[in-house]
Structure 1
């Protein structure tokens, strides 16, 4: 009851003025159907473009948001019965070649001259699609969520062409109506266009966007006005089969070579133009890029994001429920070391105000560990309220099928079921200055557990000069989320934070200012167990480089035994108390150069009156547009009393990206992790022989560093084909 009362208080705190007209409602681009064919070749000579209205006079976002853009950009759009077309003419501001990282798809935004389209088919300023390209022709596409974030893991079928001229580069695209989701009959879509020109050091957009927000912010879109309702797609079914062959061997355990041959299929069925059914049978994700490793000195489980394509479309309905460290649903729990047999997901928009998502996945059993076949189900519904806010409900269920615990004490025991139900309110004001969330969760398991609830809330204010943030969390001791990510339980957390920015005139510095933050953890008796107080000073330069320096004080009372090196097995005692101070610096170079770099330092105290030095750097060089080389390195030197003494951990990650064309890519990525005593090599060749259809060759090795030897290796050949029925 107290938890529900506190949730109601949080809702009242978040109930600030939320109504208001769309900020850039006066920016309207009229869209007319083309009566002639559009050929996607990077040329503006087609007759259809002569009849299209021009979006121009872009507004500068960075380095300042107080004037029109210096670089000139002109955009036109049209459509026919099957495609939505766009052409962007991006003029150069000064002589010299464009700046790009490579031809790699879904490139790093800040390291490439690029043009992006942000499209909100429901004009709800919350969800949408993004398409674009860099100046060399590499494509970018992603799903938009949370009013301004883009998930680049989404991949779909569309075509584009970039052509370079002496004074400009031109991006032309054809987006099939079958690729995007929209509601029949809606004739006004949210729309904005973003341009990044690194030579000029300028980011701009068609509509004015305050510099503290990304150009992707859907709160600041203009309006795409159709001359008639968009075409009805009709039958929209895509079948995506795959065939795979592979060979692997575990040298560490001296096992025989294992050969595999598999087939599977995905399907996409448009129930309506805005509601999609995804099906999968025997999916395989061997082509997914490996996780970037980190030196783990944390007391709790680390988080690695989902990369598997099937879980991504409208995945924010499930994955964004909760907070960074309070997630009732985390899709990487599904298929963790076990085969996924089949799955289905229904997701999308019912209308402008309602979104739904329902997913069901079935995994197979594993005889060696006694793990039974399991079913994972999650359902979420979201209702838009006020201008851009929403209320969401989620239900998560994990069931072990036909499971009886083994009598063998050596076999692990698994739960019969685990369920979660949650309610949250997401605040987003019409001008995006106020954002926040109020959350309530409860779990259910066969063993009745007390204190099995979570409630949390945050409120953020983000103006041009001042940022204020408040967050609190309460996680009960009995709360469990077996299909979620909740690394810590049984705590109360309070986190206030403030940041201020100064904008000097006529200076090489764009902005500078302090950030102050304090994070407190308490047990349920409200006795403090952790605190980090943090003060930083941040500087952003005209050339888009930035630096900061910080100092921090930490206090930790260990609630369980902990190895401060996460490698030796020796532990510090439960309830032991630790204090230390530390300082550090961070710097990121200008993205304009072919050679880019960043570094961070940290020096100060550590557990058990120890000392810790951390040096991290990332360097990259591009032979544009075909080759990009980078190196990420991290060094930790930890001095502790006996039995740990001195510990040194290196983490090295060189990477090579070769993009022969914007359809043929080769990536080689090596990681040496001294803490794990492992060297990992992953190489991947990808040939996109037609839109959304690929051939992958993936080779993976793991080695012992000393003495050098092979742990295991694998080679996989995978073929996928996207077939529109």
Structure 2
């Protein structure tokens, strides 16, 4: 709690300092690659009604963004599908309207009404805003042909985190020859610099009937249309108004009932209240507060069969941790990062927390977080604090510093139990996005004495063009490196990993095809090889949007510990033993434009000192836009010599997603997993009765496989409302 109070005091002092920096420090603005693509946006002269009818005078006189360029299947020439986008604004909000004309007959493809739809499964429009002209961070909005909304926060130049939501309006109307959408986005919903008269922007259209992706400002086919390096310029007629202080309060109430049959405990009834709050310290800096948060409504993870020796990584889905998440989670690599927010709150309830993040000016970004968890029967109360700062360098590169601190509170006898990590990262990104890379060095500290290295260090460099992709990665992690709040798959190793690919783009029945090769090599601290994974393959992209791939895998493993490859037997391969194995695989994914779609892969080969057959597949069918059914499955047949038993592992996951409208959703997800002897049922009902305000009912049930005895079940009801 002490750390939280110190952080809050610092926030109050910082607020004035940040405002001063916004007004007085000069900005370094990098010219976008498509600086000659300029859309002039005029201010409104009258009201705009969000009804999908572009009959207001401001739409008639607005400058049009049209003549979209084709990006896929090939980035040559203008798109066949004609598109028009217009914009206007007033002191409270900005407005977009787009018209997408049909160039071929047939139904428009729309998977469902669900917010944050799957991009490749819907005809859709997306817009990408770079509000600080740094070509690294931004905001994305969009709609599918069904009218489903898409909104996300952008980082790392093109990545869009769709778990972020804000308040805005849209309306989609269909005509025989076109579909039209109007949007109203309040300025207070996003971050930008007050008084600016310029943003960077790009508009993207996916027309699945035509099998064509296009953008207003041209983007090379090897990059997503979300690439902020290739945005055009948005020129506001008058400087944007100074944003008023944003304050949002999201109170919620919830109740739950749970029964753990496996432990034989009594039925547990709980009810409680909590809140989240968002405070705009400045137009570019946001303070998030939470008290007694509950994350029961977060989507359940999709399980996988684990045949590896190391922990699996699952993504963060809780909204509190998402805005500017790269300031905290973007350090290091996915497999060795000093901060992984899922370490907080999954083994003990979070009592309260604060999170300050955003821009100090165009060159500097700041992130501060402090979270306090509750004391339980098994764990003491713990405090998690993170501080990071990032400086923009050159065209689109940056350098960042992070400090992560975890401390146990009220340890018996006054003992000190802490874990800290100090890290420095350099992120490379060229102006045309062809070169990307990273260099980092992290060091951990705790109360124990260490003889081995307490460091993690890595470097990565990638070069990508229309035809060629080359990369090289290097990592070293010391034996005693300890990042308790991070994610570190393994310790005490050195890694070298080159890769190469070459793609031909004939644009015929086969749109593109090419070869790829990747080599992953692990060595111990004395540089003796302990693992490798060599991959070579060939892939195909068909004009029908189907894809195929074939390849060969080669593994070498020197076991440092006893290991059961099946995770199901009571015997182990001994530490010190060595294995060389591998096999071939083939995979195919059908045309996802059709209501019925499927994908499958088959791998056959040796596995340690035995053999394996692996089959994975997906079968999906949609009754658009109301019902979407998918069935994912994985089957592993592992045959190791005695004393191991032949092991067959099934993982089957049917999921039914029903979207009654753009406000009412029901999803049912069943996962049968033989490896962990569990079948999980997750049912989630959501009613968005007001903007970003929800009523949830979540039911979960777990059973043993075989006798189908119940392990545990729970029912949660939650109501939240967004006040601002």
1:631 aligns with 2:639: no
Q: Distance in 1 between matches of 2:240 and 2:273?
A: 37
The structural deviation recorded for 1:20 is: 7.9
The structural deviation recorded for 1:336 is: 2.1
The structural deviation recorded for 1:227 is: 1.2
2:278 maps to what in 1? 268
1:671 maps to what in 2? 671
3-state DSSP of counterpart to 1:291: coil
8 Å contact kept, 1:534–1:550: yes
Q: Distance in 1 between matches of 2:682 and 2:31?
A: 50
The structural deviation recorded for 1:235 is: 2.5
8 Å contact kept, 1:123–1:189: yes
Does 442-451 or 388-397 show the bigger shift?
Answer: 442-451
1:391 maps to what in 2? 399
Q: Spell out, residue by residue over 1:328-349, the C-alpha distance to the aligned partner (whole angstroms, 9 max, x if none).
A: 0000111122010000000011
Residue of structure 2 aligned with 1:375, choices 383, 400, 411: 383
3-state DSSP of counterpart to 2:188: coil
1:454 maps to what in 2? 456
The structural deviation recorded for 1:89 is: 0.4
Q: Distance in 1 between matches of 2:338 and 2:617?
A: 34
Q: Distance in 1 between matches of 2:303 and 2:174?
A: 38
Superposed, which structure 2 residues align to 1:243-642 within 5 Å?
243-367=253-377, 369=378, 371-404=379-412, 416-449=417-450, 450-504=452-506, 507-607=508-608, 609-642=609-642
The structural deviation recorded for 1:612 is: 0.8
Q: Spell out, residue by residue over 1:419-470, the C-alpha distance to the aligned partner (whole angstroms, 9 max, x if none).
A: 0010011000000000000011000010132311111100000000000000
The structural deviation recorded for 1:21 is: 4.6
3-state DSSP of counterpart to 1:501: strand
Q: Distance in 2 between matches of 1:526 and 1:667?
A: 50
The structural deviation recorded for 1:616 is: 0.4
The structural deviation recorded for 1:379 is: 0.7
Q: Spell out, residue by residue over 1:232-269, the C-alpha distance to the aligned partner (whole angstroms, 9 max, x if none).
A: 22131000000001111112223221111010000000
Q: Distance in 1 between matches of 2:357 and 2:504?
A: 44
Query: Runs ≥4 in structure 1, deviation > 3 angstroms?
Result: none
1:70 aligns with 2:80: yes
The structural deviation recorded for 1:504 is: 2.0
1:700 maps to what in 2? 700
1:722 maps to what in 2? 722
3-state DSSP of counterpart to 1:310: helix
2:13 maps to what in 1? none
1:142 aligns with 2:152: yes
1:685 aligns with 2:685: yes
8 Å contact kept, 1:638–1:648: yes
Q: Distance in 1 between matches of 2:557 and 2:710?
A: 40
RMSD after superposition: 1.3
* Count of aligned pairs between the two proteins: 695
Q: Distance in 2 between matches of 1:135 and 1:277?
A: 35
Q: Distance in 2 between matches of 1:241 and 1:22?
A: 41
3-state DSSP of counterpart to 2:336: coil
Distance 1:664 1:20, change over 3 A: closer
Q: Distance in 2 between matches of 1:75 and 1:44?
A: 11
2:111 maps to what in 1? 101
The structural deviation recorded for 1:313 is: 0.7
Q: Spell out, residue by residue over 1:256-292, the C-alpha distance to the aligned partner (whole angstroms, 9 max, x if none).
A: 2111101000000000011000000000000011110
Q: Distance in 2 between matches of 1:537 and 1:236?
A: 51
Q: Distance in 1 between matches of 2:679 and 2:645?
A: 25
The structural deviation recorded for 1:569 is: 3.3
The structural deviation recorded for 1:560 is: 1.0
Distance 1:415 1:623, change over 3 A: farther
3-state DSSP of counterpart to 2:585: strand
Distance 1:405 1:206, change over 3 A: farther
Does 488-497 or 710-719 show the bigger shift?
Answer: 710-719
The structural deviation recorded for 1:84 is: 1.1
2:252 maps to what in 1? 242
Q: Spell out, residue by residue over 1:201-237, the C-alpha distance to the aligned partner (whole angstroms, 9 max, x if none).
A: 0000001000000010000000101111212221310
The structural deviation recorded for 1:158 is: 0.9
The structural deviation recorded for 1:597 is: 1.1
The structural deviation recorded for 1:508 is: 0.2
The structural deviation recorded for 1:645 is: 2.2
The structural deviation recorded for 1:587 is: 1.2
1:42 aligns with 2:52: yes
1:9 maps to what in 2? none
The structural deviation recorded for 1:80 is: 1.1
The structural deviation recorded for 1:46 is: 1.6
8 Å contact kept, 2:495–2:522: yes
Q: Distance in 2 between matches of 1:131 and 1:562?
A: 47
1:110 aligns with 2:113: no
1:24 aligns with 2:25: no
3-state DSSP of counterpart to 1:54: coil
Q: Spell out, residue by residue over 1:59-114, the C-alpha distance to the aligned partner (whole angstroms, 9 max, x if none).
A: 00000001110101100011112111101101111111110111111111000000
8 Å contact kept, 2:258–2:269: yes
Structure 1 unmatched runs, 5+: 1-18, 407-413
Q: Spell out, residue by residue over 1:644-677, the C-alpha distance to the aligned partner (whole angstroms, 9 max, x if none).
A: 2210000000000110100111100000001111
3-state DSSP of counterpart to 1:184: coil
8 Å contact kept, 1:122–1:186: no
TM-score by length of 2: 0.95
Q: Spell out, residue by residue over 1:148-197, the C-alpha distance to the aligned partner (whole angstroms, 9 max, x if none).
A: 01001111111111111111111111111111000112211110011000
Q: Distance in 2 between matches of 1:22 and 1:446?
A: 48
